[in-house]
Amino acid sequence: MRAALFTILFVISSSLVSASAEKPPLEEYAKKLTFRAATLSPDGSKIAMLVRTDEQLRMIVYKTSGEPILQAPIDDIKANSLQFYSNNHVILRASETTRVRGFRGEFENSGSISVNLETKQASLLLDRTDDIFPAQSGVGGILGRGPNGNTVLMRAYMGSAYNDNPPNNLLQVNLDTGKGVTILRGRNRTYQWIADGSGGALARIDYNNRSNKFEVLKRDGSKWETIFETVSDIPPFRVSGILPDKSGLVFVDSRDDKDGFDEIRALKLDGTFTGPLFEPRDREIRRIYYDTDRALLGVRYETEQNEEYEFLDAAHQASYESKNEKYSGAIIYLIDWSDDRSQVLYRLYAGGVGKYYVIPQPATDEVQFMANLLPNIP
């Protein structure tokens, strides 16, 4: 893709080395480093983080026991997030501001770099994809896992720079080669794909900027069927996930932003609406939680006194309530979890003590892993 992402890909590939087991565990680094963007592997055995030292930003992968596995410098790009999509692949989402000859202005060029923890090789996703349209933003977004453990689903406009109406297609992308293959073809006005959690599409959304027609279509076998349409100056809502039983699409108002949500509702695949799915009462919904395949899990509320959580998943609710009781007086944020919910990563803040990442052991409830989020705190 673009120069800076090519550069960082080369840096990662040439500097990804196995961290020696003789190095001190992560706790020993905690007084000198700042950690962020932590994520757990699906089996809960590994944790990846962005680590800031006095000299540079690095991506580091550890075993949850604290033993370093891999590390690489990533100072040359805007590192946005990390996410595991298999036990052996961690994805770095990054971006750069760039220009493309023949197109006016600047745009934020995003990309996803897949790092294989076994081979220690890195690949820029969609980089080797044939016939991908140039000068498009948001290309690095991953919609969900593919049908096997080595692919993910992504969307991209396809076609040459001379195509006035390139279609927005759904692609299956190999995590090791970076190459994508179209599995479903959309339209130029398709602006959102919703994965079904099984390597395919549950629905797509089209919006025509000229006619202002907004249309939600579900996948019915080999055909598309419209389940909702309207005419609006802006898309009336934004689909952010799916119901756990895959019976509908979870959405929020298009005017809501990352600072909070008034309510969460669902559009069922039969075309009916339901909700609100959670009752805010006098609380504001600050975050919505989904699993890796965008199935709804729960929400985090903000109150004047504290943060509160409500989960559809009973294991998540029980885990949070036990930690909230154990660390009473602290502010607890749920960050990530293993697929089977046996390992849960929390960010813990206690006044006068500091901020920490913790993973309690399910059997003993003792802290299994801890990383200080602020430098120079004992």
**pLDDT confidence band for 230 (50 / 70 / 90):** very high
Asked if residue 255 has pLDDT above 80, the reply is: no
**164 in any annotated domain:** yes
Show the tokens assigned to 228.
């909702």
Look at 17 and 175; give whichever has higher pLDDT. 175
**219 in any annotated domain:** yes
**204 in any annotated domain:** yes
In Å, what is the CA distance from 140 to each residue of 35, 91, 96, 143? 23, 10, 12, 10
**pLDDT confidence band for 245 (50 / 70 / 90):** very high
**Average pLDDT score, the chain:** 81
Asked if residue 240 has pLDDT above 50, the reply is: yes
Closest CA to 40 of 368, 337, 262: 337
Average pLDDT over residues 274-300: 87
pTM: 0.83
Asked if residue 53 has pLDDT above 50, the reply is: yes
* Most confident of the ranges 93-97, 215-219, 302-306, 342-346: 215-219
Asked if residue 189 has pLDDT above 90, the reply is: yes
Euclidean distance between CA atoms 159 and 346, whole angstroms:
43
**221 in any annotated domain:** yes
Look at 9 and 212; give whichever has higher pLDDT. 212
Q: Based on the structure, what is the number of domains in the chain?
A: 1
Displacement of CA 341 from its chain's centroid (Å): 17
**227 in any annotated domain:** yes
Euclidean distance between CA atoms 168 and 248, whole angstroms:
22
Average pLDDT over residues 143-150: 89
Asked if residue 228 has pLDDT above 80, the reply is: yes
**258 in any annotated domain:** no
**38 in any annotated domain:** no
Name the residue range of residue 133's domain: 125-233
**pLDDT confidence band for 31 (50 / 70 / 90):** very low
SS3 352: coil
pLDDT number for residue 365: 63
**177 in any annotated domain:** yes
Euclidean distance between CA atoms 126 and 115, whole angstroms:
14
SS3 267: strand
